[in-house]
């Protein structure tokens, strides 16, 4: 097992650091498109969870622009990142290495949540909450889609 085989897990952890629901939403979109993952992802094979993950991903993009949106580093925000990164990291890991993939994704997501928050706060001070959020959304969703597309290619 080389480090490169866990790169998709690490990258999806980076995505989770900025948007907790994006990893699950991008995996759900891949499932809708008929793409499989190397690791197990049983829940997203069930329609309720698959479409629920898509809805939560979209909802998070809207909720992030609210003035009352909490920082991503509050307990529940970190918990959501741990869960999402862990599930997505396991799904993108090589078969039989799901636990390692989950650990790598979580180990990437949590510290990067603090760095991405610092960057977002700096951007908010310069261009405002909504504009900085829309730019971050575009970057994070594109990154999530790219990671999942790369990791699930045939």
Tens-of-pLDDT digits for all 154 residues of the chain? 577 899 999 999 999 999 999 999 999 999 899 898 888 777 778 889 999 999 999 998 888 777 777 889 999 999 999 999 999 999 999 999 999 999 999 999 999 999 999 999 999 999 998 899 999 999 999 999 999 999 987 6
Nearest to residue 6, comparing CAs of 111, 91, 109?
91
Which residues touch 87 (CB under 8 Å, ≥6 apart)?
23, 24, 41, 43, 102
């Amino acid at each position: 097992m080389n480090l490169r085989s866990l790169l998709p897990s690490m990258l999806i952890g980076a995505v989770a650091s900025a948007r907790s629901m994006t990893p699950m939403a991008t995996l759900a979109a891949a499932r809708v498109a008929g793409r499989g993952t190397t690791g197990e992802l049983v829940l997203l094979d069930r329609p309720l969870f698959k479409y629920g993950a898509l809805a939560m991903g979209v909802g998070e993009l809207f909720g992030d622009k609210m003035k009352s949106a909490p920082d991503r580093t509050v307990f529940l925000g970190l918990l959501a990142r741990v869960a999402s990164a862990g599930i997505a990291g396991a799904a993108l890991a090589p078969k039989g290495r799901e636990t390692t993939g989950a650990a790598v994704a979580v180990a990437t997501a949590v510290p990067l949540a603090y760095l991405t928050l610092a960057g977002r706060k700096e951007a908010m001070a310069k261009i405002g909450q909504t504009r900085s959020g829309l730019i971050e959304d575009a970057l994070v969703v594109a990154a999530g889609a790219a990671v999942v597309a790369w990791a699930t290619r045939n």
